Structure 1
Amino acid sequence: MKILLYFEGLSVIGKSGIGRALAHQKRALSSVGIQYTLDPSSEDYDILHVNTYGPNSARMVAKAKRLGKKIIYHAHSTEEDFRNSFVGSNKLAPIVKKWLVHLYSQADCLITPTPYSRELLKSYGLTQPIAAISNGIDLQRYYPNKEKEAAFREYFSLPEEQKVIISVGLFFERKGIIDFVEIARQMPEYTFIWFGDVPMYSIPRNIRKIVKHDHPKNVIFPGYIEGEVIEGGYSAADLFFFPSYEETEGIVVLEALASRQKVLLRDIPVYSGWMKDGCNCYMGRSNQEFITLIKQMTSEQLPDVTEAGFKTAQGKSIMEIGRELKSVYQDMLDEPV
């Protein structure tokens, strides 16, 4: 069995969750002994596994069909999570949905990260098999580490007693960045750090304004940072706060869980079945609820559910994802042509 993993525009979106998903796929396949290639010119493969949605991805699918190859489309994106992102995204969303449905309908099988996103795809009228497989998490990378935690505090010049709230994501309205800043404005005694980046020209003016200058002094936008600073931040912070309005999974949530960090989420449908309020995280629905929960969680007024959160992350380890992908691949190859 050999898989062609295809990813278009890695230099542009490689830092996004989809980019990390590709890295996880490569490790997952290696962990279960599946051979793969990233070479789009290769014809020596059994299954094309496509992660992206541009014109080159469409051409790869057409070529695979001519060669008689099996095709999996990894449905990372939906109309719902395209909205409230880039400039003009809401106007383009219906067109994007039609394009996604066109691409996805070419595949023999779809993979999507959660049961929630699987139901969205079914509501689009897609009828082929759809497997819900997490994007996975590299557990060991996010284990608490004193040296990484020290690097995080040193990078931001944070005294030990300073309470720190972190989030990770692109500068999209749907990620909850407006609420994040407004909550920080009402909690000046905390430092709020939002890791992530996106070209400023690509986002609406109100979001650019927030990121560039219209935020209180206790909010930091350090941009895209990888390595020990952000990995240390996941465990060194007092809370991971992710107020996103729409996700197909949220790899950053898994990263926080693997770090044994306290996690505060917006109560949205994507978490149904794997994240539960008061069991492995806490959830809120409004800014006032979030403010109350932040105070309670950082002052130990609520039960600590981080160990249950860690166990949730364990169930989505790279090796587990490898086994699930292998099962889908094998089922496809066993199907008669």
Structure 2
Amino acid sequence: MKTMMLKTDMHVHSKYSKRPSEWVLRKLGAAESYTEPTELYRIARDRGMNLVTITDHNSIGGALEIAHLPGTFISEEVTSYFPEDGCKAHVLVYDITESQHQEISLIRKNIYDLVKYLRDQDLLHAIAHPLFPINDRLTPQHVEKFLVLFNILEANGARDVLQNQFITNLVKGLTKEKLEELADMHNLEPCGKAPWKKQLISGSDDHSSLTIATTYTQVECDLDDKNSFLREIAAGRAVPGGEASEPKTLAHNIYSIAFQYYKQKFSLDRFVEGEVLTKFIDQVMSPCPAGVEPDAGFVDRLKGLFHNSRKGRFFKAEPQNLQEMLQMEARKVILNNSAMYRLVKDPSPPPIQKPEVWFRFVNKMSETVLKASADKALDKLSTGNFFDLFHMLGSAGSLYTMLSPYLVAWAVFANGRNMVRNCKLHFAPDNKSVSKPEVRMGHFTDTLHEINGVALTLNMQIDIARKNEIPLTMITCGPENGKPGVKHFKAVGEFGLPEYQEIKLYYPPLMEMIDYCYENNFTHIHSATPGPIGLAALAIARVLKLPIYGTYHTALPQYASLITGDPNMEDLGWKYIVWYYDQMDKIYVPSRATGAELAEKGISKNKIKFYERGIDIDRFHPRNRNGFYNSHFNLDDSVTKLLYVGRVSKEKNLPFLAETFKEMRRENDKLHLIVVGDGPYLKEMKQVLQGENATFTGYLQGNDLEQAYASADVFVFPSTTDTFGNAILEAQASGVPVVVSDEGGPRENCVSGKTGFIVPSHDAAAFKEVVLKLASDPELRKQMGLDARDYMQRHSFESKYMELWESYGRAA
């Protein structure tokens, strides 16, 4: 007998689905769908569906409107609840009568009563999107109950591919024994002769008509009718077809529903036919199927983002405000992008292109708003004009409005992925590779490309992660160096600090970063900066519902005060630092003193975690002592070489070092100060030490830096603001005794009296005393150098970083 393949979209909505689940649509007052049932029918048939049904929420109104058309049957999506805890579930019920719909409406709020009725009536039914937490109460235990209650489960076309893959693998692995165990555990009765053999179906779950029939269920039948089709499903011979969705698709649908709402509410068809911007939005949001010309004229009324402008008023002059600037920028983007312009000229591109095209458009517009807002805000901040910052809130609100559908979509899909992770742990408790918390880290920083201790540490972390096959990705903006394990984003803009032009703040492309983190399935976010990129990290963690850890490694409040000369900036800086780091789930600090300072400022001690940092003890080694200064700077062994390595800036307390060194020279003219590094204080420091025994090498790297350390006699580090001080460890590993301040983190990396000396901060007399003592006693220097090297043997960078990585899993 000749057979045929029948296809049906088993989950699709029309205008009879009223209440939206997305808050952004509820905020607008929009309905869940505006699709006309007859249009839905036509689109489905045009896209190859042999049969058409409509599954509106708790309504058969849409299905009844097309019931007279060939190849249809009446269905609905029933909202039900677990009475014990209020967890919401959606049940798809097919081929029902009006009287059955009425009876379902009376008992639907109790899922057990509902399932009993459907079994008694022998109605084909399925649990919709079984891993989607509709009201955030879904747990793996509810999924266990679904497996007992339902013989048919849906692989939902509007959900993440990971959800559908997991549910497919779960039902494939279900055995008779396991199902009986679940039934006994939950005191539930399975149904059918072989209830452990589950059937999967699929539907688009479309609400906007953009994705109708992109996902479907297909069966091989000998007759082209609904009864044969449904019978094959009940017999377990159906095959899901089509593609799963992604956040961009859901966001595009939300925009489209909002478009249809405004178009209907304001009769927008009468405005601006043919203008590039409005026609583009018309086309990209059009609910019409491929090959059908949509009505022209959607004026961008999405909450005032682009205000109403009648024909003849577009782009006539230079933009006077943010809205006019957006209009002009939008037109440029469309005209300069072939895919977008094709939508204006060609109304029938494949529907699958539209979500990506719209994402690129909104991304470009959001970057325009972000750059304009950030430029003005930082300019006001840098000039102390704080009150004018309030005027920027309108721009921030516009940006939030513009992005809200994407933020909602990413959050919805993140919830689904978290549910998959929980179910993997729950359903495979004996599998150690699964039961151990998974860690895939996106580590955000704005200092990767600079020359400082933080950048050095982060680059070493990348190398160790790659060596040990650790799933770490460093995420940053700024100059790209091509280093594996690093994702560089092109900055939207940048801002140079007036007092510190060598430091630039980069504005991160937020949407691209969120999309990247979602696509790479990161499980954890780490922020190494409270700057703009750190703010992006915080936003991403919140949107994707991921734990976020932070590292506090720079005393920014103190730096702000020292750099600007304004003590009020320190108070302001602390307010911001406390606000930012209080958002973290864990805060890693490189010294106990730093942790105590954060706690004193108001951050919970329970969040603060001390971690020991290390260095490459094979690279920094006493064997590198080779007369480096003699060969490069004509400094022989007759002078005692005092070394400083780091940023040459006032916040490192270098004015104190310069003045104290001049005093020490009066007592020992064989002292020679060597400053390795660069920075804003370099020129002034050279002037202060003009005529003194001082050498400024500039930046040193590689072998030169290693030899510079090992060839010195004493390392001096007067900073009171450093939270750690890599240079302290590098000097000691090179066999050089150190002199450090008793404020900040470096003091914790020196054993006073053994590997060096800790002296009171800003105490010139104490500082002079220990330096002169070391300068006059070569044997003491030698012994302290040996002890320093021995002390550093336990500070291997790799071992310390592996301990840190293990702590991420424990914190999870």
TM-score normalised by L of structure 2: 0.38
Is the radius of gyration larger for structure 1 or structure 2?
A: 2
Letter in 1 for 2:441: I
2:689 aligned residue: 215
Letter in 2 for 1:306: G
Of residues 35-44 and 133-142 in structure 1, the stretch that sits farther from structure 2 once superposed is 35-44
Letter in 2 for 1:244: S
Deviation, 1:79, is 5.0
1:240 aligned residue: 715
Match for residue 620 of structure 2 among 115, 136, 142: 142
Instruction: Indicate whether 1:229 and 2:708 are aligned.
Output: no
Letter in 2 for 1:7: T
Report the RMSD for the aligned CA atoms in angstroms: 2.4
Deviation, 1:80, is 5.7
Contact 1:81-1:247 at 8 Å conserved across structures: no
Of residues 183-192 and 136-145 in structure 1, the stretch that sits farther from structure 2 once superposed is 183-192
Contact 1:5-1:49 at 8 Å conserved across structures: yes
Cα distance in 2, alignment partners of residues 81 and 227 from structure 1: 31
Match for residue 316 of structure 1 among 783, 795, 802: 795
Instruction: Indicate whether 1:192 and 2:673 are aligned.
Output: yes
Cα distance in 2, alignment partners of residues 174 and 19 from structure 1: 18
2:590 aligned residue: 113
Deviation, 1:307, is 3.0
Cα distance in 1, alignment partners of residues 672 and 561 from structure 2: 26
1:170 aligned residue: 647
Cα distance in 1, alignment partners of residues 627 and 689 from structure 2: 26
Deviation, 1:272, is 5.7
Cα distance in 2, alignment partners of residues 329 and 277 from structure 1: 32
Unaligned runs of 5+ in 1: 201-206
2:603 counterpart SS class? coil
Give percent identity, aligned residues only. Answer: 22
1:264 counterpart SS class? strand
Cα distance in 1, alignment partners of residues 772 and 533 from structure 2: 48
Contact 1:183-1:291 at 8 Å conserved across structures: yes
2:545 aligned residue: 68
TM-score normalised by L of structure 1: 0.86
Cα distance in 2, alignment partners of residues 27 and 210 from structure 1: 37
Deviation, 1:256, is 0.6
2:563 counterpart SS class? coil
Cα 1:269–1:323 change in 2 (3 A) is same
Cα distance in 2, alignment partners of residues 27 and 325 from structure 1: 15
2:203 aligned residue: none
Cα distance in 2, alignment partners of residues 252 and 37 from structure 1: 26
1:204 aligned residue: none
1:131 counterpart SS class? strand
1:213 counterpart SS class? helix
The 5-angstrom pairing of residues 297-308 of structure 1 reads 297-298=774-775, 299-300=777-778, 302=780, 304-308=783-787
The 5-angstrom pairing of residues 1-337 of structure 1 reads 1-11=439-449, 14-30=450-466, 32-38=468-474, 39=487, 40=513, 41-43=516-518, 44=520, 45-78=522-555, 81-82=558-559, 85-88=562-565, 90-127=567-604, 128-146=606-624, 149-186=626-663, 187=665, 188-198=669-679, 200=680, 207=681, 210-217=684-691, 218-268=693-743, 270-271=745-746, 274-285=749-760, 286-298=763-775, 299-300=777-778, 302=780, 304-333=783-812
Cα distance in 1, alignment partners of residues 464 and 574 from structure 2: 29
Unaligned runs of 5+ in 2: 1-438, 475-486, 488-512
Letter in 1 for 2:807: V
Contact 1:279-1:305 at 8 Å conserved across structures: yes
Contact 1:166-1:194 at 8 Å conserved across structures: yes
Deviation, 1:269, is 5.5
Contact 1:247-1:270 at 8 Å conserved across structures: yes
Cα distance in 2, alignment partners of residues 209 and 37 from structure 1: 38
Letter in 2 for 1:50: S
Cα 1:149–1:2 change in 2 (3 A) is farther
Of residues 290-299 and 66-75 in structure 1, the stretch that sits farther from structure 2 once superposed is 290-299
Deviation, 1:253, is 0.2
Cα distance in 2, alignment partners of residues 153 and 72 from structure 1: 46
Deviation, 1:308, is 2.9
2:588 counterpart SS class? strand
2:594 counterpart SS class? helix
Letter in 1 for 2:788: G
Cα distance in 2, alignment partners of residues 315 and 167 from structure 1: 24
